[in-house]
Amino acid sequence: MKRATIGRLLVVSGLFLCSLPTALPGTVPPARSPVTRTLTLPRSDGSVRFAVIGDTGTGAREQYDLAQQMAAFHADFPFAFVIMLGDNIIGADEPADMRAKFETPYKPLLDAGVVFHAVLGNHDNPNQRFYRLFNMGGERYYAFSEGGTAQPATGGVRFFALDSDYLDKPQLDWLEKELSSSSSPWMISFFHHPLYSSGRTHGSALESRAILEPLFVKYKVSVVFSGHDHVYERIKPQKGGIVYWVSGAGGRLRKGDLGASELTARGFDADCSFMMVEITGDDLYYQAVSRTGETVDSGVVRRHGVPSPSPPSTPAAQ
Amino acid sequence: MDDHASIARRRPARLLIGLSVLCLAVTVPAGSGEGPAERKEAVRVAKKVEKADKGARQTEEEREALRRFQEGVAEYAELHARLVARLGTPESVAAQKALAHALAASRAKARPGDIFRPESEPVFRRLIAEQLEGPDALDARRTLLEGNPRDERPLGSVVLRVNGEYPIGAPRSTVPPSVLLTLPPLPACLHYRFVGRELVLVDSVAGLIVDLLPAAAPDLSVS
């Protein structure tokens, strides 16, 4: 065989080997050495700060790894609370399971006084609503406020936590009543099943969208967080300018599950991830971080109905 | 007549103008991002849900059958409230099991069909079929299969019986909103759930199976 041919074969083989994935399909790569953590959030005085996790409750190594990243980022960005997007405890939920799948991985945050607000997913025992550390007040759906006079920079954020597994009439009537009576400048909803998602396993919940989206548009909800699909996806603004997120890779990942879709503003399905959010004035800053501490998405969303600030005008040349 | 040089100069400009016109003509509606097929499906589903919200037509006979169903449901809800008042809200798995045990003991002779009475079975099947059959119900069928224990656990390992516990650790199938809007309302302690095609009346606080309606749902194929 000629040397040139051997040389070409070697080059092609090398290129082929370099293109192979570093993990077997369907597995999660081991956590590499932590990358330098970069915080993109402004940390403004008086802001409302929280984290977002979904589909966490496996008790698996990935959940613990991600929880460690959350604790590490919390040192620089002390978020006051976490919203949990359902499938909080998957499988058995005896006291030992609650410890393994929630209390132990998030112990550093719990010890630091971080409050967790959960919603139910389709894998959750409905009686999780009585579990003290999920702060659901014994209800399947509930609302709570953050900011306001305690944090005047924000003017108040009202959260609407829903049970998307069972969208019955009493819940919908409650939601409309709550939305219509809220005077908070920021209105945010979170629940398990995404109204918009490019996840191949589940995708968009169209019937839920038909019921909830008109309410969100009518009452000017600004952003919505959901889980269920085990990926990260920021959806392009939809009707009413509402930005939807899927953040369902808090403990389980469906690697490669994101389909090519015109819905996606940014997607990440190579590893588990969580989000951090900071609301200050009319701006909501977000940062999505992977299990290895890499920032996979970040940016800012302007509050519903508030125009973006004009760019500063260039002074005329003298 | 133009010479070759001037024609050659104008060609790139014409190409650019043509491309710009093409881009302007093919615009995706703002705030959308889904493909045409997905948008059409979303519109069909929205119409279906709107229709479900208006309520299903019922004959007088059906209304009577559902009235008797509601009587059975109210009777159960009273029993539930009495036992919760005695035992307390079950905030732990152990307390949940204790409540389930007490409820089961109080209705030891309960049988399938005590609440889903025979005369109400065809009404339920019809109401459910209206929301789950046909091409417009594809999303509803997919929803119902998600987390459906028959789908997510091996067949045969989910045993349903009246007064039995809803399988511990088993997922719950999401009930499509259109189905919930159509079926008779329930008190807060009771939920409809599907296991396979069976409609299960579940005490959502005690995790107790209160009644069963076999083959309540039509074929759930999504292909």
Does B114 reside within a domain? yes
Region of A147 (left: φ > 0; alpha: ψ -120 to 50; beta: rest) is: left
Q: Which of A92, A206, A239 minimises the CB distance to B168? A: A92
Does B197 reside within a domain? yes
First to last CA, chain A: 73
* Beta-carbon count within 10 A of A8 CB: 11
Residue partners of A48: CB distance under 8 A and separation at least 6:
A80, A146, A147, A151, A154, A157, A186, A278, A279, A280
Q: Which residue of B has its CA nearest to A241?
A: B31
Q: Is the pLDDT of residue B221 over 50?
A: yes
pLDDT value, residue A316: 45
Q: Is the pLDDT of residue B22 over 80?
A: no
Q: Is the pLDDT of residue A7 over 80?
A: no
pLDDT value, residue A304: 79
The number of domains in chain B is 1
Of A101-105, A185-189, B21-25, B152-156, minimum mean pLDDT range: B21-25
> Which of A21-25, A219-223, B56-60, B219-223 has the highest mean predicted lDDT (pLDDT)?
A219-223
| Strand residue runs (E) in chain A | 48-53, 81-84, 115-118, 142-146, 157-161, 186-190, 223-226, 232-235, 243-247, 264-268, 273-280, 283-290, 295-302
Cα dihedral across residues A89, A90, A96, A102: positive or negative: negative
Does B223 reside within a domain? no
Orientation of helix B138-145 relative to helix B36-53, angle to 10°:
80
To the nearest whole angstrom, how far is the Cα of A281 from the nearest Cα of chain B? Answer: 24
Question: Tens digits of per-residue pLDDT, A150-180?
Answer: 555 556 999 999 999 999 999 999 999 999 9
- Using CA atoms, how far apart are residues A282 and A42, in angstroms rounded to an integer? 13
pLDDT value, residue B81: 96
Look-up: residue for tokens 């007040």? A137
Please, what is the average pLDDT of chain B? 83
**Is the CB of A95 less than 8 angstroms away from the CB of B42?**
no
Of the candidates A246, A199, A202, A243, the residue with the CA atom closest to the CA atom of residue A220: A243
- Using CA atoms, how far apart are residues A107 and A67, in angstroms rounded to an integer? 9
- Using CA atoms, how far apart are residues A192 and A303, in angstroms rounded to an integer? 23
Q: Residue A205: its chain B contacts at CB < 8 A?
A: 139, 143, 174
Q: Which residue of B has its CA nearest to A259?
A: B34
Does B121 reside within a domain? yes
Structure confidence at residue B168 as a pLDDT band (50, 70, 90): low
pLDDT value, residue B2: 43
Does B140 reside within a domain? yes
To the nearest whole angstrom, how far is the Cα of A153 from the nearest Cα of chain B? Answer: 29
Look up residue A22 and give its two tokens: 């570093």
Of A221-225, A237-241, B151-155, B178-182, minimum mean pLDDT range: B151-155
Q: Which residue of A has its CA nearest to B153?
A: A91
pLDDT value, residue B51: 85
In a 10 Å sphere around its CB, with 0-12 CB exposed, 13-18 middle and 19+ buried, how is residue B46 labelled?
middle
Does B222 reside within a domain? no
pLDDT value, residue A91: 86
**Is the CB of A235 less than 8 angstroms away from the CB of B33?**
yes
Residue partners of A310: CB distance under 8 A and separation at least 6:
none
Q: Which residue type is seen at B46?
A: A
Residues in chain B: 223
- For residue B208, the surrounding DSSP H or E stretch is strand B208-213
Does B179 reside within a domain? yes
**Is the CB of A165 less than 8 angstroms away from the CB of B146?**
no
Q: What percent of chain A has pLDDT over 70?
A: 83
| Strand residue runs (E) in A167-222 | 186-190
Q: Which residue type is seen at A283?
A: D
To the nearest whole angstrom, how far is the Cα of B110 from the nearest Cα of chain A? Answer: 24
Structure confidence at residue A147 as a pLDDT band (50, 70, 90): confident
Mean pLDDT across A294-317: 76
Q: Which of A123, A138, A193 minimises the CB distance to B171? A: A123
Q: Is the pLDDT of residue A137 over 50?
A: yes
Domain that holds residue B169: 4-26+34-213
- Using CA atoms, how far apart are residues A171 and A212, in angstroms rounded to an integer? 11
Mean pLDDT across A138-144: 96
Structure confidence at residue A5 as a pLDDT band (50, 70, 90): low
Whether the pTM exceeds 0.80: the reply is yes
Does B219 reside within a domain? no
